[in-house]
Chain A
Amino acid sequence: MSTATASKTSTAPAEKPKRPFNWGSLRTYISAVIILIWCLAPFYWMLVTAFRDVGYTFDTTPFFTHITWDNFATVFDESLGNHFGRNLLNSLIVGAVTTVVALLVGVFAAYALARLNFRFKFVVLGFILGASMFPGVALVTPLFQLFTNIGWFGTYQALIIPNISFVLPLTVYTLTSFFREMPWELEEAARIDGCTQGQAFRKVILPLAAPATFTTAILAFIASWNEFLIASQLSNDSTKTVTVAIAYFAGAQPHQEPYTAVMAAGTVVTIPLVILVLVFQRKIVAGLTAGAVK
């Protein structure tokens, strides 16, 4: 998939020489601008509000005015009962551990699914796909009671374990699709040169698989970072993640939504993801669509 996309992207623009003016291409450009505005305008509005003086919260000037860093100070101000720095760290811990566990375990499963012939492969893949579609609420209810009983409520493992239930299937599924497109002739070559299957896997395939694994790690981390339902039910004040913190952000006035501060908090949480996604754009698109089309 990824190679097909990449080659198409690079060759397509050179395909046909265009006439000087083309109404069809004008329509394409107008559509493109509409898509651009639809996708970016709300995000842009979040940035504008995040940097705007709280007194001008509902100002409709469409560019950056009354610029201030105060909202970001409010976000990290602990006097209102928010602990945003702590929440960021919690999300980072939960996301990192979930991603590492899912990758360590999932990489072997993906290799088996991509490379080996075995009975019930279809059933195993169906089970893994089904697991990724599994509704979070069906886990929250029993886990809420279970974790309360064994004293795990509000611990990191209480958040990481349910996260694995949807991050691991995603990891296996994405890696399987990536692995299927790797130059496996090299593995055969290594085996002819006397490597065992295990050695060939370790010495030839793992280094080759690094970029695919890295992309999958980004997707897994984003999925965990964005999780809300499980974190909102199974965390306590000390393990609360950023998504929960933003949803219940406390302002200075009890009944007044601190819009500018919340937009600033949203900006803090979103900017690293957006940068990550834009830098690895092509890889991420390949990973997202991997397996869905063949």
Chain B
Amino acid sequence: MSTELQKPDATATAGHTMPSRESADRKQLTQGRWAYTLLAPSLILLAVVIIYPVLNAIIMSFQKDSGLDPATGFFSEGGPAGFENYTHWLLQQCTAPGGGSVACPPGTLGAQFWDSMGTTFFFTVVTVAFETVLGFWMAIIMARAFRGRSLIRAAVLVPWAIPTAVTAKLWFFIFAFEGIANKLFGTQILWTGSEWPAKWAIIIADVWKTTPFMALLILAGLQLIPDEVYEAAKVDGASTWQRFRLITLPLVKPALMVAILFRVLDALRMYDLPAIMTQGANGTTTLSILVVQQIRQGFNTAAALSTITFLVIFLVAFIFVRFLGANAVDAATSSGKAK
């Protein structure tokens, strides 16, 4: 029913079925004014809360942080910094005590940039991979008809509804040295106290918390595939694996790509779990954590890092939409103007 309703809309947008081109244009013009009047409050509000801070951050990122100048030993007021704040992170150049610049000494925040970039991408790739596979499996089970299915659908919403801060504390307790995880598996691992166990503890907590969201998005995609397609394939003798690979996968791909895009962008800004479970220790410092740690040491340097983080996430989103076909806007407009 919904598709029947949308169809006239979609063609009207393309301007094919309107009686005359001119009246279509006129209609669009008058609707356009009304539309922008309705949109104005939202767009202005978003501009104030997002665009203004971002522009502010970009301007800040080209200023020196005020403080004691290591070169002269005098208090310095700041002033223009050029790309110094950016090279500080990207090339890991710190100001040397005698003036000029040297490689940042190990342990300083500046020296951690590429490590935290690596950590962020490692978390993103591993968590999203697990979430996709697990989510797909859950979605396939939930799409089947069986008694108690609504119970499963309700249950998957529980991890989603729990605040991430609580999730972090919950898994921190589960992974405590005397906690249930070690007792259950008979291990004696300091989960949050050493590098790889800490990474895996965070990954497991994240996968637990966010797989339901992935599963529900994929389930919604699966439900759009008509049963007749499967029936026809069965009649033609397609095996279960063939039906999955040749029908389910291609037909669910648009929904799947949007779900992966959402999750990737979310994972790239991961903060709550590592900040609470390990405070970023033991190789779990993500870019977001590094920014927050830097805020206390100098706004302008932090602003450069937050701008870099924003650009990285923007670039990943662009690659997804442009080259991998994860077109969330298309899915939202469903106007059939897909490129």
Contact = CB atoms under 8 A, between A and B. Distances in A.
Contacts of A49: 173
A42 B171 contact: yes
A232 B170 CA distance: 19
Contacts of A215: none
A281 B180 contact: no
A255 B309 CA distance: 34
Given A45-B180, A109-B41, A133 B317 contact: yes
**Interface of chain A: mostly helix, strand, loop or mixed:** helix
- 5 residue pairs, one from A and one from B, having the closest CB atoms: A243-B165, A109-B42, A118-B32, A289-B220, A294-B334
Contacts of A106: 42
29 contacts: A13-B146, A15-B145, A32-B148, A36-B155, A42-B208, A45-B174, A45-B180, A46-B173, A108-B39, A117-B12, A117-B35, A124-B39, A130-B317, A133-B313, A136-B269, A137-B269, A137-B288, A138-B54, A138-B307, A180-B2, A226-B163, A257-B176, A263-B173, A266-B166, A273-B161, A277-B158, A289-B219, A291-B328, A291-B331
B337 interface: yes
Contact of B299 (A117, A127, A144, A289): A144
B159 A39 contact: yes
Nearest to A244: B165
Contacts, number: 335
Interface stretch (A4-12, A71-79, A202-210): A4-12
B34 A4 contact: no
B53 A285 contact: no
Nearest to B336: A294
Interface stretch (B86-94, B100-108, B193-201, B252-260): B252-260
Given A117-B32, A118-B35, A125-B329, 20 more contacts: A32-B146, A39-B158, A39-B212, A43-B162, A112-B38, A125-B333, A129-B329, A135-B288, A138-B309, A139-B54, A162-B49, A169-B46, A180-B6, A226-B165, A229-B288, A243-B166, A257-B172, A277-B161, A288-B216, A289-B220
B145 to A, nearest CB: 4
B157 interface: yes
B333 A292 contact: no
A238 interface: no
A146 B287 CA distance: 22
Interface of A: 1, 3-5, 8-9, 12-13, 15-16, 25, 28-29, 31-32, 35-36, 38-40, 42-43, 45-46, 49, 57-58, 60, 101, 105-106, 108-109, 111-113, 116-119, 121-122, 124-131, 133-146, 161-162, 164-165, 168-169, 172-173, 176-177, 180-181, 184, 197, 222, 225-226, 228-229, 232-233, 242-244, 246-247, 249, 257, 259, 262-263, 266, 269-270, 273-274, 276-278, 281, 284-285, 288-289, 291-294
B156 interface: yes
Contacts of A57: 178
A25 B313 contact: no
B141 interface: yes
Interface string B172-188: 11101011100110000
A145 B71 CA distance: 26
Interface in B118-162: 137-138, 141-142, 144-162
